[in-house]
Structure 1
Amino acid sequence: MVIFILKRLAFAVLTLVVATAIAFVLVQLSGSTPGGVALGQAATPEQVHAYNVALGWYDPWVVQYANWVGQVLTGNLGVSLIDGRDIAADIAKRLPVTAALAVFGTLLSLVVGVVMGIVAAVRGGAVDRVLAATSGILLSLPAFWVGVLLVFLFAVQLRLLPATGFVPLQTNPEAWARSLVLPVLTIAITSAAGIARQTRASMGEVLTQEHMRSLRALGTPTTRIIYVHALRGASLPILASIAVQFIVLFGGSVVIEVLFALPGIGQAMQSAVGSADLPFVQALVLVATVVVVIVNLALELMTRALDPKLRAS
């Protein structure tokens, strides 16, 4: 196990290097320069050139990338070219917003999706067809459209929840929870269907296996067969689906954050790309890659723990 973890950590480091190097090259090829972004159109070419020289923009790419990595290893992600704010501090404020969306959205879609999938696999017949049709409809719904409908219903018509905005947990826990309800519901409604389909397929396959029939013949309670033996056997593809779902939510929550005016990582990425804030873009790519690496590492460890064949290898 120790060797396995060390190999995966080495691969994680390599993934970080490759992803950040690609982002670095794309930034260099973007056509924008730090001086042009920071000083604006009113600056003269000489002023822009002097600004870029001071930052080492014209140094070889390898040197620039090495300097950036060394800076990151000290915890310094640089400053924004737009307003000079500290990037690390800004990301630290935004990270809990996106993390809360991704975690709670994944958990709710997990519960709903797994329950739908198990019911469809166990009951079969008309129930299976109805749930399959329901999941198909949910998969086709755009997240933005679902969010608008939820805002209209719960914020405009019923006035039960805020339509937009975010309140930090430490400021007001109740208001924090209320500000997350509609975004999390939007995520769960549009994400649970994929998990439901994966659960249905995995459970349906496991329930037809020989050892399941043996457990029934031995008089094992049905609930234990379904929720212990069958669910454990079907858990690997379900876990993979959940991990992918979390990564997608964390890295692709721009639509949700913009719709509900949430100051998260997705909103920051949209703003940074739109304003060509090059250091901010690189820092956000680094953060997103770290999250992907951590989730994949956790998934591999859980897969190894749940699969007897992998534990024995």
Structure 2
Amino acid sequence: MFAFVSRRLALAVLTVLAAVLISFLLVHATPGSPGAIKAGPSGTAAQIAQYNHELGWDLPLWRQFVDYLANLLRLDFGTSLIDSKDIGADLAARLPVTASIALFATLLSGVVGIVLGVTAAVRGGRLGRLITSSSGVALSLPAFWVGILLVYVLSLQLGWLPATGYTRFGDDPVGWLMSLALPVLTLTVGGAAIIARTAGAGMREALRQEHVRTLRAMRTPEWRIRYVHALRYASVPVVSVLGIQFIALFGGSVIIENLFALPGLGQASQAASSSHDLPALVGVVVIATIVVVATNLLLEVVVAALDPKVRTS
């Protein structure tokens, strides 16, 4: 297990370095320069050259990359070209927003989806068909449309939850949970449907396995067969889908954050792209890459713990 984790950890570090290098080269391949963006449309050639010199844009490419890596190791992402704010501090404030939405939506999707999927596989009949067909309908609903519907019902009509805005945990823990409730519920609808389908298919396959028939022949209690042995067999694809779902929610949060006016990384990436704030955009890419790689590493370790065959692959 130690060798498996070591190999995956080395691969994760190389993946992050590759993402940083690609982002760095793409920034240099774009037309213009940071000095031109900082100087604005009215900037003169002398001002642009001065800004580029201050930013180190006139240094050799390899030197710029080494300096950028050294700054990243010190968690220094530079300053914004638009408002001169510290990018690292801004991303540190935005990261918990996006991470909380993605994490809570993934966990809630897992709980609801596993319960529905296992129920559909174990009970079968009309209930199983109802759960399967309902999950198909939920999968076809766009998250943006679901969010608007939930805002109309739970916020505008019933007044239970705030429609938009974000409250920091340190200011008001209850208000923080309420500000995350609608975005999390919006993402849970489709996420739970995916998990329900995955868990249901895995559970049905698990109940057909040879060792399950052997356990029944040994008069093992049915509840133990279903919820211990079969559920563990079915948990491998479910855990994999949950990990992929978290990555998708974390990286694709732009629409939801804009819909609910949440100050997360998705909103920051859109603002940086529209204003051509290259350092801020690269900072978002680096943070997102690190989170995705760390999630993949954790996912592989958990799957390897559940399925010993993975560790030898």
Fold equivalence (TM over 0.5) = yes
Which amino acid counterpart does residue 47 of structure 1 have in structure 2?
A: Q
Determine the structure 1 residue equivalent to 2:180: 180
Q: Contact conserved, 1:35 with 1:51, CA < 8 A, in 2?
A: yes
Moved more, 130-139 or 243-252: 130-139
Q: TM-score, normalised by structure 1?
A: 0.96
The 1-side partners of 2:125 and 2:185 are apart by: 29
Amino acid at match of 2:306: L
Letter paired with 2:176? W
SS of alignment partner, residue 234 of structure 1: helix
Q: How big is each residue's C-alpha offset from its partner over 1:221-263, in whole Å with a ceiling of 9 and x where there is no partner?
A: 2222111111101111111100000011111111111100111
In the TM superposition, structure 1's runs of 4+ consecutive aligned residues that sit over 6 Å from their partners are none
CA distance in 1, matches of 2:181, 2:94: 18
Q: 2:4·2:311 contact (CA, 8 Å) conserved in 1?
A: no
Alpha-carbon offset, residue 305 of structure 1: 1.2
* Aligned pairs (5 A) from 1:1-313: 1-310=1-310
Q: 1-side partners of 2:310 and 2:240: how far apart?
A: 16
Q: How many percent of aligned residue pairs carry the same amino acid?
A: 52
- Separation in structure 2 between the aligned mates of residue 227 and residue 59 of structure 1, nearest angstrom: 62
Shift, 1:45, TM fit: 2.5
AA aligned opposite 1:287: I
How many residues get paired? 313
Query: Residue 310 of structure 1: CA displacement?
Result: 4.1
Tell me how far apart the structure 1 counterparts of residues 198 and 30 of structure 2 sit (CA, whole Å). 40
Q: Check the 8 A contact 1:32/1:276 in 2, yes or no.
A: no
Please, what TM-score do these two structures have when normalized by structure 2? Answer: 0.96
Gaps of 5+ in 1: none
How far did 1:311 drift? Answer: 5.4
Distance verdict in 2 for CA 1:252–1:312, change over 3 Å:
closer
Residues 110-154 of structure 1, C-alpha deviations (whole Å, 9 max, x = no match)? 111111111111122332322221111111111111000100111
Question: RMSD of the alignment, in Å?
Answer: 1.4
Quote the Cα distance in structure 1 between the aligned partners of 2:190 and 2:61.
42
Which residue identity does 2:129 align to in structure 1? Answer: R
